[in-house]
Amino acid sequence: MALLSCITMVRSKLKRCLTCDKYGLGTNCEVCGVLMEVVAPLKYSPEDPQGNRRRKRLDAGSKEWLESLPTTKKEDDKNE
More confident residue, 5 or 38: 38
Mean of all residue pLDDT scores within the chain: 78
What's 41's DSSP letter?
P
Alpha helices in the chain (DSSP H): 2-13, 51-58, 63-68
pLDDT digits (tens, 9 = 90+) for 55-78: 888 888 899 988 888 888 776 555
Q: Cα-flanking dihedrals φ and ψ of residue 65, to 5°? A: -65, -45
pLDDT bracket for residue 80 (50, 70, 90): low
Q: 9 pLDDT exceeds 80?
A: no
Q: 38 pLDDT exceeds 70?
A: yes
Ranges of each domain in the chain: 11-40
The pLDDT assigned to 20 comes to 92
CB 1 within 8 A of CB 9: no
